[in-house]
A = this chain, B = another copy of it.
């Protein structure tokens, strides 16, 4: 279909493979992209893939997708083999923020990064956060996912030292304004240096984490990360497990 020009070069260019954002695309368009991926022997990540759309895909495409209903993500082809653990923590304020947090987790996993996952630690019960603070601080990169007032982001911003990527969610109603309040609160945080993503954009937060991992490798001489491959997922024999400190 001439309407599609997949950016297969993106992985080499910026270290992040193009993903397929399925919302707003027709089933025919998604199928055409998957045909293209198969022809090029590429694995692709699908985001915002509704169950109904998954069901409407051609059977062979559908069968080739490892689907997660919570995050509405699919792996078409094998994700990258596991490459590291302990580098990125995903911290979600409430139970309702979990789908967005899982989207970030799955995006990282597709790229070979296994992240820590800590949920329901919103500041209305501060002990829930403080009881796990040392665990969170052990990660050099933290993704904070929160809706409503997003106070979790500011509290974390004053307590953790490394990269803090913030994802506002559309959780809440009325004055939460579909996530706009959480977004603005993160942007206007009293804590310095927060990196903010779009509302509900777990995928983008994971990509920002990948960029930071890429920066770290470039700054300190680690060889560049391997790319996801369609032909092989695989064992985690060679992953770099970062000791917490």
| A residues with CB within 8 A of B | 2-7, 9-10, 13-16, 18-19, 21, 23-26, 29, 33, 70, 87, 92-96, 98, 117, 119-128, 140-141, 148-151, 153-155, 157-165, 168, 170-201, 203-204, 206-222, 242, 245
Determine the distance from Cα of A33 to Cα of B127 in the docked complex, in whole angstroms: 19
- Please give 7 more A-B residue pairs, beta carbons under 8 A apart, in addition to A174-B188, A220-B222: A3-B98, A13-B125, A14-B161, A25-B96, A174-B200, A176-B198, A182-B185
**Neighbouring B residues of A208 by C-beta, 8 Å:** 163, 193-195
Query: For the complex, would chain A's binding face be called helix, strand, loop or mixed by DSSP majority?
Result: mixed
**Does the CB pair B219–A158 fall under 8 Å?**
no
**Neighbouring B residues of A95 by C-beta, 8 Å:** 3-4, 25, 29, 33
**Neighbouring B residues of A163 by C-beta, 8 Å:** 163, 208, 211-212, 214-215
Of the candidates B4, B122, B179, B197, the one whose C-beta lies within 8 Å of that of A195 is B197
Which single residue of chain B is at the shortest CB-CB distance from A5? B120
Supposing A149-B151, A159-B13 touch, asked if A191 and B23 sit within 8 A by C-beta, the answer is no
Q: A116: shortest Cβ distance to chain B, in Å?
A: 12
